[in-house]
Structure 1
Amino acid sequence: MKHICTLALAALVGMQAYAAEKQIIRISTDQTDLVLQVAPNGRLYQSYLGEKLLHESDLDLLGWSVHPASDASVIERGWEVCSTSGNEDFFEPAWGVTHSDGNPSTWLYYVSSSTKQVEGGTQTDILLRDDKYPVDVTLHYIAYPKENIIKTWSEIKHQEKKPISLFRYASTMLYFSSPSYYLTEFSSDWAKEVQMTSQQLQFGKKIVDTKLGSRAAMHAQPFFMVGLGQPVAENTGDVLMGTIGWTGNFRFTFEVDNVGNLRVIPSINPYASVYELPKGEVFTTPEFIFTLSKGTGEGSRNFQRWARNYQLKDGKGTRMTLLNNWENTAFDFDEPILAELMKEAKDLGVDMFLLDDGWFGNKYPRNSDNAGLGDWEANRQKLPGGVPALVRYAKEAGVEFGIWIEPEMVNPKSELMEKHPDWAIHYPNRETYYYRNQLVLDMSNPEVQDYVYEVVDKLMKENPDLAYFKWDCNSPITNIYSPYLKDKQGRLYIDHIRGVYNVMKRVSENYPKLPLMLCSGGGARCDYEALKHFTEFWCSDNTDPVERIYIQWGFSQFFPAKAMCAHVTSWNKNASIKFRTDVASMCKLGFDIGLKELSADELVYCQTAVANWKRLSSTILDGEQYRLVSPYEGNHMAVNYVSTDQQKAVLFAYDVYPRFEEKLFPVKLQGLDPNKMYKVEEINLMPGVKSVLKANGKVLSGDYLMKIGLEVFGFKPLHSCVIELTEQK
């Protein structure tokens, strides 16, 4: 007993001495505090993550407990910010390092921290160092106060004589203590993107990951939501929402420990990726971006506002409406057909004509998906005038011209494969297997990076008026071996993606005003690192408006409408052209349809809808979004957008498959000024059809619209209603 009391007293004296000079690092937004502390043992721990504390003095009360019978130099079950493999913690580590002498342990101690102002926020950098090996880890955080977003990433470097091996490399580690935890994840497949499902997290680990290398988000999207204490809800409850900026293999680990605490670890997936790091080279993890919010609606608006302001290429700019040819012609077209479609684009009222797949390849013409990838010269038989002639036709028609490319891929039937078989990722001694008749080019190879960049650069130099690129990526990595990396195959998955980003960055820097669509066989690329260099992304090849309601609902959890491309096509002809167009109009509007298949009234409707969308695009693309009625909770869906000055709003309401004579409720809008008066007007009506909306033409207060609402739902399947609200002074 005497021995225990002596230890307790020593621990208490140590803690009291330390309290006078306690090192506290506070990373804050206007609504959230992340508080880190250096413990008596010299290591860094998370002492608080939650709603912002109002009083600075309260920070001194935060901390940890030392067991009376334990060594005060060890924090029992401490929430170490950068817990490493081989230390005294028993749970999933952030970093795993095997040193050049074979020692698999790393213990990191606090060295220093600093802050600086960056665009939109404050960056905090914290240096940690191993006490036995010359290994440094630097933690980086940027807090965006107004948007309530925190972005974090890590770097590791060393001065050991020989390379070290990295087998874990988390972007960050976050800890929570709550009675319960509920994960909402977003599973996926081609034409089935962002399928939302929820489950309660229990003791142990839940892992969401992908091992596809390229087109990596085909099965799992790189974002999640965790309800703290209750399942996630739109307008209530504490929610963590996070996403990783990595278009390759990622892994989210959610681990509930034996005392009910949760650690969340976002990282590159270490699968087949033991990374050999030479002396002096810096390994940088992807950015992890997160927000803590009251409900997912608030969290989504945080992300959307932050993306437009700081992360999305040309986030504050406009977006072009377009007509694509793919659903109309597929590979079967020539110059006269395309020239006529450009005139249709002008007649429709859109800004641009986008030429999709099938325009290239001569020795191996691109007439199907089994040949031509890699040979980015216009097919002389289809397009004798080449791309310059198409740009000229577009100018004559009065629209911009954009083009599709898939520069990271190669068909075995291609001149590129004949000249550079070593540029493709493939096994040297096994039978090659193909996904979609193609292979992935080895972007870890600098020569391949130069080639991919030159695909864009050459097209732009030859056609400076090219206005847009749709950049596709249709295959995961198969035959996983890099001829370039040779005996360093553990670097392939990581260095390949770094090579992809190098090219994207190079294109973006040299063509800063060039809009680009990020596409990957649909929505299998949707990360905020790539979106630094792309203005928008393609949500899904599935353009059935019913499915798109769910897909667009899911993506809107993390992305602004102006980043989400939605096209009107012929998928699901049971749905009217109005319903199809109204669903696409809640995002960045485009068309992929032959106008000749439309009746005269349908064409007039489309022209009117395009004109309305353009007129209201600043509200839809840059306004605050409020998801009102979830398709997951019934047979209807509704969302509204409100301009930043609250003078204009747009409500989209959809009856999907209503039940017979079900009870219907008014839709209560959100985000309006309760003291403003708004004129209510239904738009996007078919020619000759009058609105049956009871409130059509009336002037109602924002208070009434938010508390009483509008009766916009009905019993007709696949019916839609678009309402414009305008402040009356």
Structure 2
Amino acid sequence: MKERLFFLICFLCISFMLKAADKPVIKISTENVDLIYRVGNNGRLYQSYLGKKLNYATDIAHLPQGSEAYLTHGMEDYFEPAIHIVHNDGNPSTLLKYVSHTRNQVSPGVDEVVITMQDDKYPVTVKLHYVAYQKENLIKTFTEISHQEKKPVQLHKYASSMLHLNRDNYFLTEFSGDWASEAHVKEQPLEFGKKTIDTKLGARANMFCSPFFQLSLDGKSEENQGEVLVGTLGWTGNFSFVFEVDNKNELRVISGINPYASEYSLKPNEIFRTPDFYFTYSFTGKGQASRNFHDWARKYQVKDGNQTRMTLLNNWEATYFDFDEAKLVKLMDDAVELGVDMFLLDDGWFANKYPRSGDHQGLGDWDETADKLPHGVGYLTEAAKKKGIKFGIWIEPEMVNPKSELYEKHKDWVIHLPNRDEYYFRNQLVLDLSNPKVQDYVFGVVDNLMTKYPDIAFFKWDCNSPITNIYSVYLKNKQSHLYIDYVRGLYNVLERVKAKYPNLPMMLCSGGGGRSDYEALKYFTEFWPSDNTDPIERLFIQWGFSQVFPAKTMCAHVTTWNKNSSVKFRTDVAMMCKLGFDIKLADMSKDDETYCRTAVQNYNRLKPVVLEGDMYRLVSPYGSNHTSTMYVGKDKDKAAVFAFDIHPRYAEKILPVRLQGLDADKMYRVKEINLMPGANSSLSGNGEVFSGEFLMNVGLNLFTAQQLNSRVIEVVAE
């Protein structure tokens, strides 16, 4: 009897082990983070863990089963699903079961896991992709959906990512605003129910909200403390982040294309690939999460992320639409005087039947205006070359004015509603990039200019309108595909530009920061965060975008906005990003002109630190009368500290600011730079040597009681 019982127990143990072996645990890991999935006894995939890396394999068996990884519509779950498919027979439900998973190394330090699931009744396949960047502690995820039903299935929801968190409390930080007021930081607790951040604007998708968020866990996180998950979607169109807290106080985060008005008819064997969702997880605050994104972006994502950026002088705020060849050549002389790398010609240089004398006409007609530029763009590129600077030019190829030859010839290329009066945003309409002929035309705008004028060294690509009058002549009975196919068409164009002109840098602009996502930055070297160049406002705007984007991707120009601030203050703010000028030297004093020349020289010396180094946000402009940010070179031999007094209060107690990111054992000489001609530094300890330990534990007296005062401090190891 005992012998039979012994064999029975052994048999049950072996059976359990074999069963467990059939239910794999799938671990997606970076240096510091684990995302762990396991297959349940019912064959479904569950997210068991997301958090700090678990180094002992035996501990994984003790994890709870968790929540279903990619929840479907129509089954037993009562909250927001990640996917909703209507099958050929009208059945709106899906039940996904694990089939297999693969693991491969994409490149050194980059691993990909692909998990394949299938519906248990219908021939529908869903593949979840996870790409882990080890050193950067960042994970990219996207989804592929396909089927082999006889006719197209209807996709109503198709998330890029679904993440589950089970904590005591959650605090969401969003980055929203409007034109000239982008990426403002707003934090709120998440409690029972659903919070959605989304956009329905189409082309200028990020005008009201940026496609990234911060999620603090178990209390509010700060710059240098707390657990925080930071995520962003790589999609230059309508996006959606859904945060839903359920009856058990568990949170699901669903990220992807906004399915609003975008039901997608998926053909048999066609693969619907979602955009990429990227997230990082920091256990030491928001600052480290930002540095993770910055390192990853420069190394893996942004066009020419390992190369420097050109300084420039733009004519826009110096001339607006009122210019001729002589004015532009004079501004090139200003560029040479300043010592910048390039002159950028902005809007207003094109169209003849309807000359671009304002924003109400000419868009779509990309020939030089003969009255303004009788010798053509080639005359300007040659003038720039003779002066030893590069030449760049502005375009807005996705847009058209109704008052243009293009509109008269090809109204069928324009997104517009039949039987309705047209609604114009900034006096313009959007071209239908779902149409391959329109894609050819938009590519041709760049290609024709580059073919005719190969010395063009830079494009500023603008997009000033969301999609209005939403109807595509080309798509006919597939109108719900427009929002998605427009973006795919844009990517087709940008791929062609990148393939033919791989070394051509371009700035992404959309009436300011209306386009600011990492998929677009595969094709653009930088973006324009805001049309608002008031330096005080820019401190807030740049603070917001810096949460996810490195300095080298953000353009900041010195302009005449807010003349209550000095040229020095405006320049010091712009030097924290990719520096440019929108100003005439004739409008500046001699001291200001001298200062700007010196600042450009200093910036060129500091480029490796500001553009390639680690950023530390020392003092936030939110809730403070001052703000400070510093950049530290990767070797910790050099740093640049930027400090700004915005509106100090009378008799305010001003404390030293502790620096960050230095080597505690190195000795550093501290020197204030970017001083006005004849001015002496009032910085305590200026020119003296301190240990990194002292600078990080005691700090420097960066701030003053002066309104709109700025300091730039160079910290160099001895």
* TM-score where L is the length of structure 1: 0.96
- When structure 1 is superposed on structure 2, of 228-237 and 418-427 the one drifting more is 228-237
Distance in 1, matches of 2:702 and 2:115, equals: 53
Q: Find out whether 1:426 has 2:416 as its counterpart.
A: yes
Q: Which residue of 2 aligns with 1:516?
A: 506
2:7 corresponds to which residue?
Answer: none
1-structure distance, mates of 2:14, 2:583: 76
Match of 1:608 among 598, 613, 624: 598
CA deviation profile, 1:444-483 (whole Å, cap 9, x unmatched): 1111111101111111111111110000000000001011
Q: Secondary structure at the match of 1:395?
A: helix
Query: What is the letter of the counterpart of residue 314 of structure 1?
Result: D
CA distance in 2, matches of 1:175, 1:672: 36
Counterpart amino acid of residue 55 in structure 2: L
1:530 counterpart (520, 523, 533): 520
* Structure 2 counterpart of 1:477: 467
1:392 aligns with 382
Measured against aligned partners, the alpha-carbon deviations of 1:72-109 in whole angstroms (never above 9, x if no partner) come to xxxxxx51111111121111110100011111011111
Taking the aligned partners of 1:448 and 1:661, their CA distance within structure 2 comes to: 62
Aligned to 1:218, the other structure's residue is in SS state coil
Give distance in 2, aligned partners of 1:221 and 1:15.
49
Alignment of 1:482-501 (within 5 A): 482-501=472-491
Please, which of 72, 83, 87 is the counterpart of residue 95 of structure 1?
83
Letter in 2 for 1:300: S
Shift of 1:201: 0.3
Alignment-mate amino acid for residue 82 of structure 2: A
* Residue identity matched to 1:613: Y
Partner of 2:5: none
What is the rounded CA distance, in whole Å, between the counterparts of 2:372 and 2:47 in structure 1? 62
Following superposition of structure 1 onto structure 2, how do residues 88-127 of structure 1 map, counting pairs within 5 Å?
A: 88-119=76-107, 120-127=109-116
SS in structure 2 opposite 1:117?
strand
Corresponding position of 2:210: 221
- Aligned-residue sequence identity (percent) comes to 61
* 1:341 pairs with 2:335: no
| 1:27 corresponds to 2:28 | yes
What corresponds to 1:540 in structure 2?
530
Q: 2:544 aligns with which of 542, 550, 554?
A: 554
Question: What SS class does the counterpart of residue 433 from structure 1 fall into?
Answer: coil
Report the alpha carbon displacement of residue 19 of structure 1 after superposing the two structures with TM: 2.7
Mapped contact 1:37–1:63 kept (Cα < 8 A) = no
2-side partners of 1:12 and 1:624: how far apart? 53
Answering whether residue 223 of structure 2 is matched by residue 234 of structure 1, we say: yes
Deviations 1:412-453 (A, max 9, x none): 011111111010100011111111100000111111111101
In the other structure, the counterpart of 1:468 is: 458
Which of 73, 80, 89 is the aligned partner of 1:85? Answer: 73
Q: For residue 370 of structure 1, give the secondary structure of its aligned residue in structure 2.
A: coil
Match of 1:578 in 2: 568
Instruction: Report 1:111-260 matches (<5 A).
Output: 111-119=99-107, 120-260=109-249
- The letter for the 1-side match of 2:105 is Q
Q: Deviations over 1:223-253 (max 9, x none)?
A: 0001101123111111010000011111100
Per-residue CA distance 1:245-278 (angstroms, 9 max, x = gap): 0111111000000000000000111111111111
Following TM superposition, by how much is the alpha carbon of 1:113 offset from its aligned partner in structure 2, in angstroms? 0.9
- Give, in whole Å, the separation in 1 of the partners of 2:84 and 2:715: 55
- Who is 1:70 aligned against? none
Matches within 5 A, 1:314-713: 314-713=304-703
Tell me the secondary structure at the aligned position of residue 193 of structure 1: strand
Give the letter for the 2:58 counterpart: S
User: Deviation at 1:648?
Assistant: 0.4
Change (3 A) 1:15 1:632: farther
Q: Does 1:263 align with 2:252?
A: yes
Counterpart position of 1:72: none
CA RMSD of aligned residues (A): 1.2
Q: Residues 656 and 14 (structure 1 numbering): CA distance in 2 closer, same or farther, change over 3 Å?
A: farther
Q: 1:529, 1:404 → 2: CA distance? A: 21
Distance 1:694 1:108 in 2: 65
Report the CA distance between 1:12 and its aligned residue: 12
The question of whether the paired residues in 2 share the 8 Å contact of 1:137 and 1:154 is answered with: yes
Q: Give the Cα–Cα distance (whole angstroms) in 2 for the partners of residues 111 and 408 of structure 1.
A: 43
Is residue 276 from structure 1 mapped to residue 276 from structure 2 by the alignment? Answer: no
CA contact (8 A) 1:682 1:693 kept: yes
1:63 deviates by 3.4
Matches of 1:179 and 1:506, distance apart in 2: 49
Asked if the contact 1:126/1:139 (under 8 Å) is kept, the reply is yes
Query: What's the CA shift string for 1:353-395, capped at 9, x where partnerless?
Result: 0000000001110000010101111111100111111101111
The residue type equivalent to 1:60 in the other structure is A
> Quick one: distance in 2 between partners of 1:168 and 1:411?
35
CA distance in 2, matches of 1:323, 1:359: 16
- Matched residues in 2 for 1:555 and 1:141: separation? 25
What secondary structure, in the 3-state scheme, does the structure 2 residue paired with 1:127 have? strand
State the alpha-carbon separation in 2 of the partners of residues 28 and 606 from structure 1.
Answer: 47
- Matched ranges for 1:57-72 at <5 A: 57-64=58-65
Determine the C-alpha separation between the residues in 1 that align with 2:498 and 2:390.
Answer: 19
- Unaligned runs of at least 5 residues, structure 1: 1-10, 65-77
Paired with 1:286 and 1:558, the residues of 2 have a C-alpha distance of 17
Q: Is the 8 A contact 1:225 1:232 kept in 2?
A: no
Q: In the aligned structure 2, how far is the partner of 1:547 from the partner of 1:13?
A: 67
Instruction: Please tell me whether the aligned partners of residues 324 and 356 of structure 1 are also in contact (alpha carbons under 8 angstroms).
Output: yes
**2:4 alignment partner in structure 1:** none
What is the alpha-carbon distance in structure 2 between the residues aligned to residue 612 and residue 247 of structure 1?
A: 35
- Mapped partners of 1:659, 1:216: distance in 2: 39
Displacement of 1:304: 0.3
- Using the alignment, how far apart are the partners of 1:718 and 1:13 within structure 2? 74
> Displacement of 1:221 after TM fit?
0.6
Q: Distance in 1 between matches of 2:543 and 2:415?
A: 36
C-alpha distance in structure 1 between counterparts of 2:304 and 2:228, whole Å: 29
1:60 deviates by 2.1
User: Tell me, what secondary structure is at the counterpart of 2:679?
Assistant: coil
In 2, distance between residues paired with 1:442 and 1:518?
19
> C-alpha separation between the residues in 2 aligned to 1:118 and 1:330?
47
Aligned residue for 1:287? 276
Amino acid at match of 2:78: F
How far 1:202 sits from its partner (Å)? 0.6
Deviation at 1:633, TM superposition (A): 2.5
Q: Aligned partners of 1:112, 1:575: CA distance in 2, in Å?
A: 62
Equivalent residues, number: 705
- Structure 2 segments unaligned to the other structure (5+ residues): 1-11
Cα distance between partner residues in 2 of 1:379 and 1:247: 31
Aligned with 1:217: secondary structure?
Answer: coil
Q: Is the 8 A contact 1:81 1:172 kept in 2?
A: no
Measure, in 2, the Cα distance between the counterparts of 1:521 and 1:528: 18
Which letter does structure 1 place at the counterpart of 2:648? P
**Counterpart for residue 46 of structure 1:** 47
Structure 1 range deviating more: 115-124 or 582-591: 115-124
Counterpart-to-counterpart distance in 1, 2:585 and 2:255: 46
- Specify the code of the residue in structure 1 equivalent to 2:627: M
Q: CA deviation at 1:645?
A: 0.5
